[in-house]
Amino acid sequence: MSAEVSLKLIHNTSRDRFELWDDETFMGLVGYEKDGDVYILLHTVIEERFGQQGIARLLVSLVLTRMRLDGVRIRPVCSYVRRFLVRFPEYQLLVDHS
């Protein structure tokens, strides 16, 4: 990661995923499927060179904050997202229990 960080979260609808970029450098993604208006969060993947730096936590918090702002519901299948929701229960209101 460069000394000057210019992170951006991209919703790549053509690939069903949210991507985290630092300028032109791909850092990771949260992949999903949709079931109606519910996002089924399938997996979180971080580029190996960015591992163990808190990037997964940052990415998931950005995605969930975006979803909260957009008023959508989630179904967490991804084990990382499930653990994140236990650690940060303020995002539990997004979980679809149907």
pLDDT value, residue 72? 94
Low-confidence residues of the chain, pLDDT below 70? 1-5
pLDDT value, residue 97? 87
pLDDT value, residue 3? 57
Contacts of residue 59, Cβ cutoff 8 Å, sequence gap at least 6: 9, 18, 20, 27, 28, 29, 30, 44, 46
pLDDT value, residue 4? 63
The candidate with the shortest Cα–Cα distance to 49, out of 30, 27, 31, is 27
pLDDT value, residue 5? 67
Q: 24-47: per-residue pLDDT in tens?
A: 999 999 999 999 989 999 999 999
